Amino acid sequence: MHVPDGFFNAAVSISAGAVAAAGVGVCLRGARRELDDRTAPMAGLVAAFIFAVQMLNFPVAAGTSGHLLGGTLAAILVGPYTAVLCVAVVLLVQGFFFADGGLTALGVNITLMGIVAIVAGWTVFRLVAGRARGRGTVVAASFVAALISVPVAALAFALLFWIGGTAPIEVGTVAAAMGGVHVLIGIGEGLITAVTVSTVLAVRPDLVYGARGLTAPLVLRGADGDATVTREAGLPTTSVTPVAPRRLGWFLPAGIVVAALLAGIVSFYASSSPDGLERVATDKGFIGQSAEHALAGQPLADYGEAGGIPVGIAGLIGVGVTLAVGGGLFFAVRRRTGRAGASARDEVSA
């Protein structure tokens, strides 16, 4: 659902850019509470994974495809504030390296696919998951939350286009069309999110932010048989012996390999049909308002098509760039958090 240049007037584009900038600023501060030595590299991996899976358009109806938005998935894995940053990184890489999503519409895309979708998805996830402790409930909540987040973002687009679109529309008609097709896309979003969350829960439940407090605490037994209860799952305990959190270990390289395989090989089999927004814009007569991307002539534009680069090679480059940009950002936020914590401890000790 990448909005191209030309769909919105200057007032809405600038306003959405301001909202996006403010939202990212808030999330930079909020992410300090979510990022640690594990979640910082995990967040970079999540951003790269979202980039890879967004290349895999899947058919949802005759002549229409959809792709993962990924915001709800990111929120469940690394936290809602960090998730907004993950989606923003993906959109920045797509916009500036692959001419996907307009540059003047970047604020609109971050607002819709990042802020709106994640707020909706995370809210629904928390409501559905409640205080349940079973993995099945977490997975089911992931599916429902991801499904709902997509049509919510689509309806937000219809509202914005009614306010400041560059073509007159019947808002009810466009909202019905956008909502209808994006419910179908949302089913795919929900399935991808549920499968991914279920897989991570099966191998490393401590890496699922949304499952903290929903599963039993980890109990480690030493050679003498004494039990040590950790806070891995986020549950309060009455007697806790500090235990160093598990590092990512093999999980990080394995995740990078999965993202590389998806972008480098599976992307060749993605649906070539227009996505939900493009289909609705064509059917409702405002597709002509889209403007050519300012970077449409660069070699990686349209995922290599402009420069004759195979889509798989372009995908691998995109995964690498996203991992580097995202990882650098999240480690920077993490280091700043560490310095702030050290300064606070020094002040207390003084």
Please check the confidence at residue 337 and state whether its pLDDT lies above 50.
Answer: yes
CB atoms within 10 A of CB 337: 18
- 113: its two tokens: 């696919």
Query: Residue range 219-230: average pLDDT?
Result: 52
Residue of 221 and 333 predicted with greater confidence: 333
Give 220's pLDDT tier (boundaries 50, 70, 90). low
Give 338's pLDDT tier (boundaries 50, 70, 90). low
Give 345's pLDDT tier (boundaries 50, 70, 90). very low
CB atoms within 10 A of CB 199: 12
Beta strands in 202-335 (DSSP E): 219-221, 227-229
Please check the confidence at residue 299 and state whether its pLDDT lies above 90.
Answer: yes
**DSSP secondary structure, 96-144, as one string:** HHS--S-STTHHHHIIIIIIIHHHHHHHHHHHHHTT---HHHHHHHHHH
| pLDDT confidence of residue 207 | 93
Using the Cα atoms of residue 304, residue 305, residue 308 and residue 313 in order, give the sign of their dihedral: positive
**DSSP secondary structure, 41-90, as one string:** HHHHHHHHHHHHHHT--EEEETTEEE----HHHHHHHH-HHHHHHHHHHH
Q: What's the CA angle centered on 236, arms 234 and 241, to 5 degrees?
A: 90
By residue count, the chain amounts to: 350
| pLDDT confidence of residue 261 | 98
How much is the mean pLDDT over the chain? Answer: 89
Chain segment 106-126, per-residue pLDDT in tens: 999 999 999 999 999 999 999
Contact 323, 45 (CB under 8 A): yes
| pLDDT confidence of residue 189 | 98
pLDDT above 90: percentage of residues in the chain: 79
Highest mean pLDDT among 60-69, 104-113, 228-237, 246-255: 104-113
Chain segment 247-267, per-residue pLDDT in tens: 788 999 999 999 999 999 999
Q: Phi, psi at residue 220, to the nearest 5°?
A: -105, 140
Q: Which residues contact 41 (CB under 8 A, 6 or more apart)?
A: 248, 252, 327, 330, 331
Give 101's pLDDT tier (boundaries 50, 70, 90). very high
Please check the confidence at residue 35 and state whether its pLDDT lies above 70.
Answer: yes
**In a 3-state reduction of DSSP, which class is residue 193?**
helix
| pLDDT confidence of residue 231 | 45
pTM of the model as a whole: 0.88
| pLDDT confidence of residue 336 | 73
Ordered by start, the domain boundaries in the chain are 10-212+250-349
Please check the confidence at residue 129 and state whether its pLDDT lies above 80.
Answer: yes
What's the CATH number of domain 10-212+250-349, 2.40.50.140, 2.60.40.4070, 3.30.300.30, 1.10.1760.20?
1.10.1760.20
Q: What is the dihedral of CA 42, 30, 53, 112, to 10 degrees?
A: 180
Give 346's pLDDT tier (boundaries 50, 70, 90). very low
Query: Residue range 181-198: average pLDDT?
Result: 97
Contact 129, 143 (CB under 8 A): no
Residue of 342 and 92 predicted with greater confidence: 92
Please check the confidence at residue 36 and state whether its pLDDT lies above 50.
Answer: yes
Lowest mean pLDDT among 7-11, 213-217, 336-340: 213-217
- 142: its two tokens: 């992931």
Give 61's pLDDT tier (boundaries 50, 70, 90). confident
SS (H, E, C) 30-51: HHHHCCCCCHHHHHHHHHHHHH
Give 40's pLDDT tier (boundaries 50, 70, 90). very high
